[in-house]
Amino acid sequence: MASKWVDERDIKFILHDVLDIDNQVLGKGLHADHDAEMVDMVLAEAAKFAENELAPTYPDEDRGKPIGAEFKDGKVTTPDSYKRLWQLYTEGGWMTVSDSYEVGGQQFPQTIYAASNNMFLACNQAFIMYPGLTHGAARLVEDFYQGPFRDLLLEKMYSGAWAGTMCLTEPGAGSDVGMLKTTARRNADGSFSITGTKSFISSGDHDLTENIIHPVLARIEGDPAGTKGISIFLVPKYKIKADGSLGELNDVITGNIEHKMGIHGNATCTLNFGENGNCVGYLMGEECQGMPIMFHMMNEERQGVGMMGVALASSAYRHALQFAKERIQGSNIVNMKDPDAPKVPIIQHPDVRRMLLAMKSHVEGLRLLTLLCYHCMDMAKVAETEEEKDKWGGMVEVLTPIVKAYCTDRGMYVNDLAIQTYGGYGYCKEYPVEQMMRDQKINCIYEGTNGIQALDLLGRKLGMKKGLYFMNLLGETQAAVATAKANSDLAREAGLVENALNAVAAAAMDFRGLIKTNPFVPLIGASDFLNCFGDALTGWCHIWMANVATQKLNELYAANGAAGDPAKQFELLMNNKEAQFFSGKIEGAKFFIGRVTALVPAKLDVLKQDETSAMRITEEAFAV
């Protein structure tokens, strides 16, 4: 029986057969020491850790003892199982799978780190957020911090001895970070005294490590208002002595933890810095460069949140699939008028099959879309020319808001379908899909709401390098479409994908013009435009996978004497798991492209109409 939690087979297909990392990335540059066999060993270990260690803790995280993270007497505690998980995760080297040898990493491609995380997040997002934020904070230290204890910080954070966070949000400064009130006052020794309150800080306090390093956005006294006056500081929970040992509490006090809809195992904290005037921080990078520096971590987290959306959707789908195979209800539609007809598993009912294929096609398309983003990072690293490096890096810029917003919104849709497949049982806590949906929702909000991502895509990313990065991404789609057009079985779908991508390109041009003449039209339509772009790109991902699957399936037919023989092909599809896998890829592609991607041109036509009722309606008219 297939795993209810992870899809190692699909991940390997994407990495080796679709993205072709064996030839494109492995054995080159930083990854000269790695080959496909080593990658598969890592993926196998990741699947084992996810299935055997993380998955059993998932319901315990939500309904175990204690229930999630707790705050008592000023201290935060995590579920008992998390201590062992943290030890296994860090000792297994998962924190630094793709980091350099110099910091103790294994220097695998970013896609391997992402693929491993896809499996981990599918089993317990709340826990994986602790090391995920630690890794992001450690990367900031590595890239931008040259102050005291740099080497010690890198050693402790990458090894998992110390943890990390990301402290941006304040009670009065959410999406509008420039409104922050946290201040930094210069000290004689070059350090700064930090004063202020940060809210909604994921993994903000816990009992997994002896120290926590907080990158904190603050304004140095006298610096300009707004985002241009913001700097960033490293603030340890406990002060660090000259010899590297820990000293007293650094006046970083946890005020409370939030009682949330989901991810109960992750402590979302209010942190008070410098209530007693004794909180010391160290400047990272240059003064007033806090936002550009923090965005390096923010983009990493946005890509990771997109992967969270895919992972939770994947596990929900796989649980729903198993339930549909086991739940006996009703007769087959062919025998519906026969009162004596045998009862069948609900997977035989057309509407259930529709929901299952909708989930499957979304999950698999989104998985390739997210891994593609990481693959572009890898391609930039192994690029031999600055032009190639810029091309791949630019594609990451365009893909990031789409991966973050589209994959979480559509992930939420998959979680909804999973509950619907279970029926009433899915709404009950005895089954995990209701928890998965509660855990999923925050991903649409984290690291800049999905509406913010849409504005970022429309207002910044599409116009970067005068639209070159956007056009480069569209250019990458042409080869797969052309290949599919030459295949009579996929030609229709190829045409639908091509039409959708052309419509996205045309709408982007129209929106750029409307920004100057009627800006409310594109601003109101920004989120819908992002989702249309996502539908088109995911259609491309599916046609790309279908091309590869068709080739692989034909090779299987030939190897088994079934080429040109429908009867033998049917027999192979009934008994050969590889044939079933490739056939599923092709049918999933046809379903998604025909039911989702095909609608993109019509949706974009609607968005370009002069429809601004959302701005014309008065505030009072929303509810009278």
Q: Which residues are identified as catalytic?
A: 447
- Burial class for 385, CB neighbours closer than 10 Å (0-12, 13-18, 19+): exposed
Rounded to 5 degrees, φ, ψ at 392 are -70, -40
H or E element, residue 571: helix 566-575
H or E element, residue 554: helix 520-559
Smallest CA-to-CA distance from 375 within 541, 126, 535 is with: 541
| Residue appearing with tokens 């008994």 | 575
Residues β-bridged to residue 163: 212
| Residue appearing with tokens 């398309």 | 365
Tell me how far apart the alpha carbons of residues 64 and 340 are, in angstroms, rounded to a whole number.
44
DSSP codes joined into one string, 315-332: HHHHHHHHHHHH-EEEE-
Tell me how far apart the alpha carbons of residues 602 and 28 are, in angstroms, rounded to a whole number.
44
- Which own/partner contact pairs does 483-488 have at CB distance under 8 Å and 24+ positions apart? 483/547, 484/543, 484/546, 484/547, 487/547, 487/550
| Residue appearing with tokens 């209701």 | 434
CB 433 within 8 Å of CB 316: yes
Q: How many CA atoms lie within 13 A of 482 on its CB side?
A: 5
Q: How many CA atoms lie within 13 A of 190 on its CB side?
A: 6
Tell me how far apart the alpha carbons of residues 149 and 156 are, in angstroms, rounded to a whole number.
10
Tell me how far apart the alpha carbons of residues 117 and 132 are, in angstroms, rounded to a whole number.
9
Structure tokens at 572: 């192979």
Helix ranges (H only) for 168-326 are: 290-326
What SS3 state is found at 152? helix
Residues β-bridged to residue 225: none
| Residue appearing with tokens 């816990």 | 206
CB 554 within 8 Å of CB 585: no
